[in-house]
Amino acid sequence: MTAKIRLMLVDDSTVIRRLLADVLTGDPMLEVVGQAPNGRVALERLPVLKPDLVILDVEMPEMDGLETLTEIRKHQPRLPVIMFSSITERGAIVTLEALARGANDYVTKPSNTGNMAIALQRVRDELIPRIKAFCRHLVTPSAAPQPTSPSTEQPSGGWASFGRSPIEGSVFGRPSSGWTPTNQAMVERGATEQRAPTIKPENKLPPLPVLSRPRQRVDVVLIGVSTGGPPALTALLPQLPATFPVPILIVQHMPPIFTRLLAERLATHSALSVAEGTAGEILRPGQIRVAPGGSHMVLERDGSQIRLLLHQGEPENSCRPAVDVLLRSAVDIYRGNTLAVILTGMGNDGLRGCEAIRKAGGQILVQDEASSVVWGMPGFVAKAGLADGQIPLSQLASEIINRVRIGR
């Protein structure tokens, strides 16, 4: 008989803890082994209860979620922690900080309005798959990853500032309050001490080699990311130089408020202009735009210019914004002059869009398994034979720069 996944709930609300326990224990694979009303009590009980995963409230008396997470990471760096956050500006700010400090993921609390049964079902649908993904290593050990090698092309021509190592110069590699030297070092060496073991997609196909084919000029870079995204983007974007010659569009699976605050946070790390995308905005080289939570982001040609459009169409892959929607729209405009980069994330959003990019002759890179928090989105693309390379996060910026440089 398979052992149950042992969970600890930390929340100052007795009602929330009871509702969460009812939701989680309804699944035969899950067991709530302990509860705590604040971080101080949780830290006292952790060594005794030995949970496999902690669900941690953000705002609590005596010791809040951030303080508790920091202490957990000091002593148990690999213990999966999912933050339980409110959909408010304050909740979003603290949640993003928690992700930067090593939380594995987050789920938003049900609001006080609407049907509680529907709200609890949403929590169940979002929380239980994450728990099982982060704890899959307990019952299904994963094989060692086999990352592929990135491009080794060197800078040429007069574009020296673009081809220079992105760590050179004062703006690159500078840690912020939310990206500690410990986290930076973890990314640089591709290690996984501060997160749960990598989660692979279900299909067990052999790893595929890097595709070797002529490369077209890249006129837009498209990034799709979900679970583990904020730390990955915080590591990647500062390595792109101010002279980056094409726009970058990002779909990060997050709700409204969260995406705006994420963009603002990323802007403090990057030499490029980072902001949440706005309807009607003209795409310009060197700009990074993040799709707003709750809206699909697509492109439209307006004479010689390309504009961003936003719409609230049906969710795709249970996501809005969806990576697939952006990728298909970009192919309609840029055809084969696209570079898609699929980073860490749960599910398979981006797979169909990458099929469209491949058919049009565009290029596709995926984050490798070893440096991904969850190798779902990149794993599905790689195992479908669509990726030109499976690249460690620490080397992705250089690979993107090399490919964008071609034809310039």
What is the chain's Cα-based Rg?
21
pLDDT at position 123: 86
How many of the other CB atoms lie within 10 Å of CB of 104? 24
Catalytic residue among 85, 151, 226, 371: 226
pLDDT for residue 105 is more than 50: yes
How many of the other CB atoms lie within 10 Å of CB of 296? 23
Same domain, 109 and 180: no
Same domain, 216 and 264: yes
Active site residue 295: no
Closest CA to 351 of 319, 377, 318, 387: 377
| DSSP code per residue over 220-241 | EEEEEE-TTHHHHHHHHGGGS-
How many of the other CB atoms lie within 10 Å of CB of 184? 18
Residue 8 tokens, joined: 């600890």
> How many angstroms from the chain centroid is the CA of residue 299?
22
Same domain, 277 and 387: yes
Position 235 in a domain? yes
117 pLDDT band (50/70/90 cuts)?
A: confident
Position 145 in a domain? no
Distance, in Å, from the CA atom of 248 to the CA atom of 317, rounded to the nearest integer, reads 22
Same domain, 315 and 213: yes
Residue 127 tokens, joined: 């929380």
pLDDT digits over 304-340, tens only?
A: 999 999 999 999 999 999 999 999 999 999 999 999 9
pLDDT digits over 349-394, tens only?
A: 999 999 999 999 999 999 999 999 999 999 999 999 999 999 999 9
Distance, in Å, from the CA atom of 253 to the CA atom of 196, rounded to the nearest integer, reads 20
Same domain, 62 and 112: yes
Bigger pLDDT: 262 or 136? 262
Same domain, 193 and 66: no
Query: Which residue among 138, 171, 198 closes a domain?
Result: 138
Q: Where residue 341 sits, what CATH number does that domain have? A: 3.40.50.180
Section 13-36 average pLDDT:
94
Catalytic residue among 253, 296, 368, 394: 253
Bigger pLDDT: 232 or 163? 232
Active site residue 349: yes
pLDDT digits over 75-104, tens only?
A: 999 999 999 998 889 889 999 999 999 999
Query: Which residue among 85, 104, 138 closes a domain?
Result: 138
Same domain, 263 and 393: yes
Q: Where do the H-state alpha helices sit in 26-159?
A: 39-49, 65-75, 89-100, 116-134
pLDDT digits over 271-280, tens only?
A: 999 999 999 9
Position 282 in a domain? yes
Same domain, 134 and 182: no
Same domain, 33 and 164: no
> How many angstroms from the chain centroid is the CA of residue 1?
34
Q: How far is CA 294 from CA 257, 279, 312, in A?
A: 10, 13, 7
212 pLDDT band (50/70/90 cuts)?
A: low
Q: What is the mean pLDDT of the chain?
A: 84
pLDDT at position 139: 58
pLDDT digits over 41-55, tens only?
A: 999 999 999 999 999
Position 143 in a domain? no
Distance, in Å, from the CA atom of 187 to the CA atom of 394, rounded to the nearest integer, reads 6
Same domain, 206 and 336: yes
**Domain count across the chain:** 2
Position 144 in a domain? no
Q: Where residue 83 sits, what CATH number does that domain have? A: 3.40.50.2300
Position 252 in a domain? yes
pLDDT for residue 146 is more than 70: no
Domain that holds residue 131: 5-138
Position 271 in a domain? yes
Same domain, 73 and 188: no
Distance, in Å, from the CA atom of 57 to the CA atom of 217, rounded to the nearest integer, reads 47
**183: region left, alpha or beta (phi > 0 left; psi from -120 to 50 alpha):** alpha
Distance, in Å, from the CA atom of 275 to the CA atom of 336, rounded to the nearest integer, reads 26
Position 278 in a domain? yes
Same domain, 250 and 174: yes
Catalytic residue among 11, 52, 219, 349: 349
pLDDT at position 169: 31
